Amino acid sequence: MDATLGGSSADTALVTSHKPTGKISDPIFVGLLWASGIAVLLILGLIIAMLFEGGLPALREFGISFLWSTSWNPVTEKFGAGVMVFGTLLSAIIAVIVALPLSFGIAFFLTEIAPGPLRRPIGVAIQLLAAVPSIIYGMWGFFVVVPLIAAYVQPPLIEWLGPIPVLGALFQGPPLGAGMLTAGLILALMILPFITAMFVEVLESVPPMLKESAFGVGATTFEVYRNVSVPYGNTAMVGAVMLGLGRALGETMAVTFVIGNATRMSASLFAPGATIASTIANEFPEASMGSLKLQSLLQLGFILFVISFIVLALSRMLVRSKIKG
């Protein structure tokens, strides 16, 4: 009897053995539940296997140097992932650098400053930013943000910062609007709600007693936030940032519209570039079935999968360690 209280499967045998109604239907039902669980494992396994197998010929052709080779030339059929891996990482890192302080501020606002009745509506509105489809960010970025950046942001930056040695290399080239920096900014806006939501969740799990003690000794709201709440949730917050990074790495449609799609490497943030995802989206239509180009694109997909998987696994480890504890 005690065993059934848990309601778990191993224990239900006890019940079903007394009940003829469940004798046949129950094993089928439980079997279906198990099958669905296994199905999810199979899907991921198949994804990994298919992407790896599809890209294997490209890896054989170019060797391991495919990973960092910066040539992407459909005419000579020389393909390498270097430019795209660089673009993927750079755009995602720009996104995180921009989104992080904003998320810290907004989470502070939502947990400590906003008056009670406003908290939920504002929180939901910010979450809606995450619900806007990626292609909408792409269109908005392409038609609205890119022209603005080309007209008002890049010319002064190129003029002021361009001539500075070393640092100036980041701000070179014609003000096209589209490019690495624009992609990073749009991505920042897209991952902002994810990071903020997790920050808020972590901050709300801080024991009130800790905060009250700090307030009790005369700390200001910001001091409590900086010295109590944030340190309390720091590992989970790092995990949240990693999750945001993971999202930015694989984002496709928005980036495809605003990054400029040039498969060459440039140090300038204003230069057009490419990410793995944008390259796949752009070049796929011109890659015929079974061609070396298509195999290279599949290999790019596999590389993106590995990068996202590592980031995700790390993020999950860090988040769980705190929220569970």
Partner 1 sequence: MASLAARRATDFTVKAISTGFAVLSLVMLAWILWTLLSRGLPALGPHVFTQITAPPGAGGGLLNAIVGSLIQIVIALLIGTPIGLMCGTFLAENGRGTRIAGVVRFVNDVLLSAPSILIGLFVYQLLVVPFGGFSGWAGSIALAILVIPVVVRTTEDMLNLVPIGLREAAFALGAPQWKVVTMVTWRAARAGITTGILLALARAAGETAPLLFTSLGNNGWSIDLSRPMASLPIAIYQYAASPFDDWVALAWAGALIITVGVLTLNILSRLVLAKMK
| 295 touching partner 1, by CB under 8 A | no
| 286 touching partner 1, by CB under 8 A | no
Nearer Cβ to partner 1 (175/239): 239
Using CB under 8 A, pick the residue from 12, 205, 235, 291 that binds partner 1: 12
Residue 286: CB minimum distance to partner 1, A: 13
Q: 79 forms bridges with which residues in the sheet?
A: 72
Nearer Cβ to partner 1 (182/308): 308
Q: 117-124 — which CB contacts under 8 Å span 24+ positions?
A: 123/197, 123/200
Residue 258 φ/ψ, nearest 5 degrees:
-115, 0
Nearer Cβ to partner 1 (83/242): 242
Between the two ends of the chain, the Cα-to-Cα distance in Å is 31
Nearer Cβ to partner 1 (245/269): 245
Q: x/- binding map, residues 17-56, to partner 1, per CB under 8 A?
A: -xx-xx--xx-xxx-xxxxxx-xxx-xx-xx--xx-xx--
Binding residues among 296-325 for partner 1 as defined by CB under 8 A: 297-298, 301, 304-305, 308-309, 312-313, 316
Using CB under 8 A, pick the residue from 63, 65, 71, 133 that binds partner 1: 133
Nearer Cβ to partner 1 (37/63): 37
d(CA 10, CA 254): 48
Please give the structure tokens belonging to residue 322.
Answer: 């705190």
| 136 touching partner 1, by CB under 8 A | yes
d(CA 150, CA 160): 15
User: What one-character-per-residue DSSP string does 48-116 give?
Assistant: HHHHHHHHHHHHHHHGGGGGT---EETTTTEE-SHHHHHHHHHHHHHHHHHHHHHHHHHHHIIIIIS-H
Residue 317: CB minimum distance to partner 1, A: 10
| 75 touching partner 1, by CB under 8 A | no
d(CA 168, CA 117): 47
Residue 169: CB minimum distance to partner 1, A: 29
The owner of tokens 């990994």 is: 48
Spatial CB neighbours of 160, under 8 Å, sequence gap ≥ 6: none
Q: x/- binding map, residues 238-277, to partner 1, per CB under 8 A?
A: -----x--xx-xxxxx---x-------------------x
Q: x/- binding map, residues 142-181, to partner 1, per CB under 8 A?
A: xxx-------------------------------------
SS3 state at 260: strand
| 221 touching partner 1, by CB under 8 A | yes
